[in-house]
Amino acid sequence: MQASSNPISCTAFVDRACFAKGSLQHVVTTVKDSLEDSKLAQILIFNDGTGKPIDVDFRGSTDEVLDRLSSESGGGHNSNAKEKENELPARKVGRPKLGVVSGEVTLLPRQWDWLKAQPGGASVTLRKLIDEARRVGESESKVRAAQEAAYHFMTAMAGDLNQYEEALRALYAGNEALFYELIDDWIPDIRDYVKYLAKAAFMQKDN
């Protein structure tokens, strides 16, 4: 399990039924305290952010299981963060108190002419173009992340369900209506979790 400073939100399934949701610590505690050892072997816990299964060693007491999780998620990450905090920032040219930093931009003459002719001048126009490109890029990244999360979970839990491959194609094609139609008759808990993971995959359609 990868180290993280933020609690991992996850969902546990037993026999394709949703058993517990919440932080990893909460889900693990609920599972460990509620299920017999024979059922623990059937538990599958998925990361709500990535759709990937989380490997948990349930041997021993609940405290021992949680201690192992804590040791796996701690250590190097925090020390690396502290080292970065102690690094001195480089001196910046521009108006740092206003959050403005100067840098070199190389453009063709016709490109400079176009920038200078825009309302507000070159700097204002460049900032607007960059902000828009970042917005579009972040939106596309969220779509890809949602597609991958849904894919990982569907591969693990829905590979033998009706119209699985067709649903995957609809997911990556961004065909929201067809995707939901194809998974409509799936096992309810599986279907609902797939919808949860895939929600952001169709967000560009609304923008």
pLDDT tens, residue by residue, 7-39 = 889 999 998 999 999 999 999 999 999 988 888
Tell me the pLDDT of the chain averaged across its residues.
82
pLDDT score of 78 more than 50: no
Give the number of other Cβ atoms within 10 Å of residue 206's Cβ.
6
Give the number of other Cβ atoms within 10 Å of residue 52's Cβ.
16
Please tell me the predicted confidence (pLDDT) of residue 29: 95
**∠ Cα 50 55 58 (to 5°):** 140
Taking the C-alpha atoms of residue 9 and residue 25, their distance in angstroms, rounded to an integer, is 9
More confident position, 193 or 99: 193
Q: What is the mean pLDDT of residues 118-134?
A: 75
- Per the CB < 8 A criterion, the answer to whether 1 and 69 are in contact is yes
More confident position, 45 or 107: 45
Which sequence spans correspond to the domains of the chain? 9-81, 92-207
Please tell me the predicted confidence (pLDDT) of residue 122: 76
Please tell me the predicted confidence (pLDDT) of residue 105: 72
Put the strands of the sheet holding 9-14 in their side by side order: 17-23, 9-14, 44-47
Q: What's the pTM? A: 0.68
Taking the C-alpha atoms of residue 100 and residue 152, their distance in angstroms, rounded to an integer, is 41
- Per the CB < 8 A criterion, the answer to whether 125 and 115 are in contact is yes
